[in-house]
Structure 1
């Protein structure tokens, strides 16, 4: 790997501040969050605005610019999984009326690459591109369960407590390992208010032509609509949707 260019790294540090922030950021906020010198931040901001990666608003704050959208669109065009996943998510959402996601694993996190909203007034609020700790989500646990043991334990060391998003989150690696054993046996995963106290989820694996789990498809439901009968129906729909998406990616396994 070649030497990293400090100026480029700092520019990306600024852009990545917007990943977990809604709305514009001011220069002082960026200075505080990145720890970079004020002069450096102002020079980088001016460069990013000039190249249309950021836009400066009349209030002085900065927001993401059109150039990033163009790059993201090109990325999505080249990634069949994202476009195929969006179609699969739409079909499942039409069948159940709930929010459907397709996510991939990146390190110890999951990133949602496709999402279709519920048609109900009460629904989960999320967005494609969102990142969450894998162990707190149904899609994440599904994908962690598919990893070889050595790779899993490198991502989730047995002596390091796990971060909690809610009081329901799994925080002990041993408990997560046990849950993943059950997931492997059932080939589906559940989330019981572990990333959001108002939401439960079911997820199924999406496999490529080699049989590798490259993504997971989930259905997210407000707990007020989650019961045994609904759970059974959603397990079937998630499994069928994931199998259909797998087939479109070249997987030859049985559907349904």
Structure 2
């Protein structure tokens, strides 16, 4: 962590000013370029470039009377952050209980973008040898049980886009080799209701995951149990039942 007194030398003034511009909207619904320049103590030409750049990326929108308002991308980011926090708050007590019951590390994950799954919550098990994935860790979805659980319940278009953009790297000789193998695995996930990472990312590590589905049948997250392969295989049936109970509790709470 960078000491507070040293942070100033790493700050980019242009980015800092752009973020300060966003903060103005806590007090103002609309702003002209002159308003922005005055409030931030910057030149009008600089304020204009900030506004045009942010409008181009959808974070500001320009009105018919030449003022700027917050754009839809800003709203979308805010809702995304809110929903993630709400999801973690809702699932965490169940995740903690699951980890205590099974003794293994349990995760909550979402599809972060077109190709990555992100782990947004974790509960550590009681067993000495455990998996400790950092919060915010991202990985290609097909290389994780949670990722495959989520992909299996996405639209065909989403899966096809994923295949176009992903890299089928071979981390172990169990890793998914190509798109054809991934599609077969996703069919299996839909048939069985759960996904596996059978030492596909790391030798000696196995993971089981179940998706959390919305009312339309689309997945918006997945929960998993991870641990040493020998222990996981021995307790597979119990782990899958526990995961299903967690998913049922979460879905009932949402509905």
- TM-score with structure 2 setting the length: 0.66
What's 2:10 paired with?
45
Shift of 1:203: 0.6
What's 1:131 paired with?
138
The answer to whether structure 1 residue 145 and structure 2 residue 152 are counterparts is yes
Deviations 1:150-196 (A, max 9, x none): 221111139x7512333321121100100101111111111101122
> Number of paired residues?
189
What's 1:119 paired with?
126
Shift of 1:245: 1.5
Spell out the pairing of 1:86-235 with structure 2 (5 A cutoff): 86-106=92-112, 107-157=114-164, 162-228=168-234, 230-235=235-240
> In structure 2, how many angstroms separate the alpha carbons of the residues matched to 1:248 and 1:172?
38
> In structure 1, how many angstroms separate the alpha carbons of the residues matched to 2:86 and 2:8?
37
Shift of 1:216: 0.5
What is the root-mean-square deviation of aligned Cα atoms in Å? 3.1
The answer to whether structure 1 residue 249 and structure 2 residue 214 are counterparts is no
Deviations 1:117-153 (A, max 9, x none): 1111111121221111100111000111111112211
Sort the Cα spacing of 1:83 and 1:165 in 2 relative to 1 into closer, same or farther, 3 A: farther
> In structure 1, how many angstroms separate the alpha carbons of the residues matched to 2:127 and 2:156?
40
Deviations 1:68-89 (A, max 9, x none): xxxxxxx468731121122221
Q: Where in structure 1 are there 5+ consecutive unaligned residues? A: 1-22, 25-41, 52-74, 251-256
Report the structure number with the largest CA radius of gyration.
Answer: 2
Deviations 1:19-43 (A, max 9, x none): xxxx77xxxxxxxxxxxxxxxxx98
Kept in 1: contact 2:204–2:228 (CA 8 A): yes
Sort the Cα spacing of 1:213 and 1:161 in 2 relative to 1 into closer, same or farther, 3 A: closer
Q: Determine helix, strand or coil for the equivalent of 1:156.
A: helix
Q: Where in structure 2 are there 5+ consecutive unaligned residues? A: 17-80
Q: Determine helix, strand or coil for the equivalent of 1:157.
A: helix
* Structure with higher helix content: 2
